Structure 1
Amino acid sequence: MPSAIELARGDEKLIAAIHRSRRLISRKALMAAAASAVPLPGLDWMADAALLSRLVPQISAEFGLSVTQVEKLAPHQRERIQKAATTVGALLVGRLVTRDLLLRLAKHAGVRLTAKQATKYVPIAGQVVSAALGYAALRALGEQHIKDCVRVSSTLALAPPEPHESA
């Protein structure tokens, strides 16, 4: 499967948006790892959901595909984005992140998240493994969303907004 950079096909603006998005993912993944290391039942799931509910719109905004950015477009442009998102299988592009969408997204990382729950109760080593799995799961989900955004942007030949315009 091609990386997000390969999907960008040399488009400098898309590549810059990918790098900005990956920096966001790294920060959030570290927070997810910290929450995963704490051996309290459900804390990591709540933290992951909270982090993802903030991360996904931030990544979408880097590509000009957040809910607020898409709502500002003309109706025919909104429709094109939704069709492109559906065509490439982008679950979260241009949509409000809801609990149901987060649950569907979590299914993609289900094995990692289940293993994370099982390992966190083993003293020290289990918490380290749980933190590593939490980090990896959030990074994988974020990277998949970046690829979805790149595919939609490429399909429609959309230029991402300038960094100071994304929010």
Structure 2
Amino acid sequence: MIQSIEELEAIRKSCQSMVTRSSSLSAGTAIIPIPGLDIGSDVAILMRLIPKINEKFGLSPEQIDSLDVESKLFVMTAISNTGSKMAGKYITRKLIVLLLNKMAGKVAAKNVSKFVPFVGSAVAGSISFTAMKYMGNSHIDDCYEIALAALENERFETAVVIESALESEYQEPTQDNSRLY
């Protein structure tokens, strides 16, 4: 479990670097004028990238399953509240293709642009880089929001426990009036 905002920020930066590297790889593949190659490559890239991001934020299915019941319920609610389609889930080819289909306009523009000599490949690479970067960074933002909520919830619960312990330790002893009768 993430222990501090500083640790959470470091994870975010590390994941953003991974996304930039993956986006560059996607752009490089998109430049090759073979229709369909880039889509297969993007699916493969995302199949590796998304689980790595989930794991770094403590949001892989296995990590969530290992939480106590209350923490697991809180994290699953936070995932639901962000609307994330990939946090806490097993990433399948079908899920990645579904998400890529939501970006169908960019994918179509990328494929059509390949048929324009020279400039078309550069445009396809640029579109691919931008789309991959957008998808990756959006997922990072979702994971960050979920992990931050979990961290704040953990801190709140710890504060309540400490406050409760302090209150019970410093309470004035009450007089037992039952002995008077």
The normalised TM-score by structure 2 is: 0.76
Cα distance in 1, alignment partners of residues 84 and 140 from structure 2: 10
136, 139, 145: which is aligned to 1:145? 139
Moved more, 60-69 or 26-35: 60-69
Cα distance in 2, alignment partners of residues 55 and 67 from structure 1: 15
Structure 1 residue 116: deviation in Å?
A: 0.6
1:86 maps to amino acid: S
Contact 2:31 2:124 in 1 (8 A): yes
Contact 1:57 1:67 in 2 (8 A): no
2:103 maps to amino acid: A
* Moved segments of 4+, more than 4 Å: none
Contact 1:84 1:155 in 2 (8 A): yes
CA offset digits 1:48-95 (Å, max 9, x no partner): 000001100111112111223223223443332222101110111010
Aligned to 2:45: 51
Cα distance in 1, alignment partners of residues 39 and 133 from structure 2: 15
The structure with more radius of gyration? 2
Cα distance in 1, alignment partners of residues 62 and 118 from structure 2: 43
Structure 1 residue 18: deviation in Å?
A: 0.9
1:135 maps to amino acid: F
2:137 maps to amino acid: E
Aligned to 1:20, the other structure's residue is in SS state helix
Contact 2:27 2:128 in 1 (8 A): yes
Structure 1 residue 107: deviation in Å?
A: 3.7
Structure 1 residue 99: deviation in Å?
A: 2.5
Pairwise mapping of residues 103-118 of structure 1 onto structure 2 (< 5 A)?
103-118=97-112
Pairwise mapping of residues 1-167 of structure 1 onto structure 2 (< 5 A)?
11-157=5-151
Moved more, 54-63 or 104-113: 104-113
Give unpaired runs (5+ residues) of structure 2: 154-181
Structure 1 residue 111: deviation in Å?
A: 2.2
Give unpaired runs (5+ residues) of structure 1: 1-9, 160-167
Cα distance in 2, alignment partners of residues 110 and 158 from structure 1: 37
1:121 maps to amino acid: F
Identity %: 29
Aligned to 1:121, the other structure's residue is in SS state coil
Cα distance in 1, alignment partners of residues 125 and 111 from structure 2: 10
